[in-house]
Amino acid sequence: MKLSVIGTGYVGLVVGTCFAESGNDVICVDNDEKKVRMLKKGQSPIFEPGLTEFLKNNIEEERLSFTTDLATAVRQSEIIFLALPTPQSEDGSADLQHVLKVTRQIGKAMNGYKVIVNKSTVPVGTADRVREMLSRETSYEFDVVSNPEFLKEGAAVNDFMKPDRIVIGTRSSRALAIMQDLYAPFVRTGNPLIVMDERSSELTKYASNSFLATKVSFMNEVAALCERVGADIDQVRKGMGSDPRIGPQFLFAGIGYGGSCFPKDVAALLNTSITNKHEFQILAAVETVNKRQKRVIVEKLKKHYRNDLKGRVVTIWGLAFKPNTDDVREAPALTIIEALLKEGVELRVHDPEAMEEMKKRIGNSVRFFNNNYDALKGSEALLLVTEWNEFRRPDFDRIKSLMKTPVVFDGRNIYDPKIMREKGFVYYGIGRG
Ligand code: NAD
């Protein structure tokens, strides 16, 4: 099949590459010329495990190409995916300017029947808005489909190639047949392709992310209680998670959720609720708890040093909002860095992949180190912010010898408190008694 993907970011690049990998001819479009130049050479602008190999293979096999020329891509495609940003507006709603701008461009470039598929996370009713706009721009036939994306950064290629489920929102049998054909290679093992109307499909994405965010904030609340009553969140988590109605996933307490999706999707669903005169009380609490949680490690540090942080040297391991990605959008590290700089702390930081992205946001306000141990020299506290695998089993004796005072704030509960204390560290976790 011939398809284009408009927007070649974390979602669009993975989607385009994986569709090419399954034998389709894919044109990826982006208005960022630098990105397109890199991609043409087979270089990925993002870090995503397994992506570069697929990218290079499919460029070589001439199934995958990159361009800034949207109109030509549209004319050559029967299916057009939108994988454009839908960032948070001032009032919390999803900003649709990119989606609507591109929709108009597609409308003007149409030269026959097309299926326009929305992969961006968009509020309920967007398919209708896209349809109305296209009708104004073109007299050619088209269908608009909602097909939210559920991939996880850090495991995006695997998630896309082996999805838990595919949600297709459409009432057009013509478009549905095309979508079923396109996705057939991805549902061979029996994973469901769930068909519903566009509005339900659009809401499914927001409800899914908001539910996951609720799990995180719920466990962070339980962790806060654990600290007050002398219980251990890790044991509570195991006890809860073995109930199949609860399940073991997404029950880890920590320093809050971040990333480009959960915060903005929770805010957007809250906005949808307000606009539709429904008070979504649980979700409002989820957001409040998360804002508090992103600062919890700062509060612990302040308490340890009795509010005297000025001039102290502190090391941060991990900047990405989660492991295996270079994405720092809404990362807890950003909140922590900002708060500690305000306190006059001197920060030394390391991340295996996300340092360049962080530099773009905070410049040289902190010192970046290519090696996690170098970042520890003379430090008075280590903050473990992202649970990269390489931080899980470090050389604790080396850490201790490098630090001025061996104090560890483990924002992801990856170290064993008992072992840490035996090794002579002052150890703080999240919700650990
Ligand atoms: P992104 O910012 O990484 O990528 C968006 C791309 O679109 C960028 O490369 C940008 O240059 C390009 N772009 C912007 N305006 C354009 C235009 N007018 N013409 C052509 N290209 C344009 O965003 P993302 O993380 O890939 O997210 C895209 C959408 O997918 C969002 O709605 C997001 O909520 C949703 N989503 C993201 C994830 C995720 O894990 N990142 C997962 C599921 C869904």
Amino acid at 224: A
Q: Are 166 and 194 in contact (CB under 8 A)?
A: yes
What single string gives the DSSP state of each residue in 321-352? Answer: SSTT----TT-HHHHHHHHHHHTT-EEEEE-S
261 catalytic? Reply is yes
Q: How far apart are the CA of 393 and the centre of ligand 1, in A?
A: 35
Give the C-alpha separation, 309 to 409, whole Å: 15
In a mutational test of the pocket of ligand 1, which residue from 11, 51, 261 has the highest number of ligand atoms less than 8 Å from its CB?
Answer: 11
Cβ count within 10 A of residue 235: 12
* Ligand 1 atom 19 nearest Cα: 31
Q: How far apart are the CA of 132 and the centre of ligand 1, in A?
A: 22
Who's near 404: CB < 8 A, 6+ residues apart? 313, 378, 379, 380
Q: What global pTM score does this model have?
A: 0.95
152 CA: nearest ligand 1 atom: 40
Give the C-alpha separation, 394 to 247, whole Å: 30
Q: Active site residue: 18, 28, 226, 261, which one? A: 261
243: tokens are 């109930």
* Ligand 1 atom 5 nearest Cα: 9
Cβ count within 10 A of residue 58: 24
Who's near 178: CB < 8 A, 6+ residues apart? 1, 78, 79, 115
In a mutational test of the pocket of ligand 1, which residue from 201, 210, 260 has the highest number of ligand atoms less than 8 Å from its CB?
Answer: 260
CA 28, 54, 14: angle at the middle one, nearest 5? 45
Q: How far apart are the CA of 101 and the centre of ligand 1, in A?
A: 14
Task: Please report the pLDDT score of residue 222 as a whole number.
Answer: 98
Task: Please report the pLDDT score of residue 33 as a whole number.
Answer: 98
In a mutational test of the pocket of ligand 1, which residue from 8, 10, 119, 329 has the highest number of ligand atoms less than 8 Å from its CB?
Answer: 10
Please determine whether the domains at 2-196 and 294-428 fall in the same fold group of CATH: yes
Per-residue pLDDT of the chain in tens (433 residues, 90 and over written 9): 999 999 999 999 999 999 999 999 999 999 999 999 999 999 999 999 999 999 999 999 999 999 999 999 999 999 999 999 999 999 999 999 999 999 999 999 999 999 999 999 999 999 999 999 999 999 999 999 999 999 999 999 999 999 999 999 999 999 999 999 999 999 998 999 999 999 999 999 999 999 999 999 999 999 999 999 999 999 999 999 999 999 999 999 999 999 999 999 999 999 999 999 999 999 999 999 999 999 999 999 999 999 999 999 999 999 999 999 999 999 999 999 999 999 999 999 999 999 999 999 999 999 999 999 999 999 999 999 999 999 999 999 999 999 999 999 999 999 999 999 999 999 999 999 7
Tell me the H-state helices in 230-331: 233-241, 262-275, 281-293, 296-304
- Domain regions of the chain by residue span: 2-196, 205-292, 294-428
Q: Are 315 and 379 in contact (CB under 8 A)?
A: yes
Q: How far apart are the CA of 239 and the centre of ligand 1, in A?
A: 38
Q: How far apart are the CA of 118 and the centre of ligand 1, in A?
A: 11
Q: 196: phi > 0 → left, psi -120 to 50 → alpha, else beta; which?
A: beta
Tell me the H-state helices in 167-243: 173-183, 198-229, 233-241
How far are the Cα atoms of 17, 48, 72, 152, 174 from residue 10, in angstroms, in the given order? 11, 8, 23, 10, 29
Who's near 239: CB < 8 A, 6+ residues apart? none
Superfamily (CATH) of domain 205-292? N-(1-d-carboxylethyl)-l-norvaline Dehydrogenase; domain 2 (1.10.1040.10)
Closest of 404, 336, 340 to residue 351, by C-alpha: 336
Task: Please report the pLDDT score of residue 433 as a whole number.
Answer: 77
Fold of 294-428: Rossmann fold (3.40.50)
Residues, the chain, total? 433
Q: Are 331 and 261 in contact (CB under 8 A)?
A: no
Identify the CATH assignment for 2-196 out of 3.40.1280.10, 3.40.50.720, 2.60.40.1180, 3.30.1360.120: 3.40.50.720
Using CB distances shorter than 6 Å, the residues near ligand 1 are 6-12, 29-32, 35, 83-86, 98, 101-102, 120-121, 149, 151, 153, 260-261
Q: How far apart are the CA of 85 and the centre of ligand 1, in A?
A: 4
* Ligand 1 atom 9 nearest Cα: 9
12: tokens are 């669009």
260 CA: nearest ligand 1 atom: 41
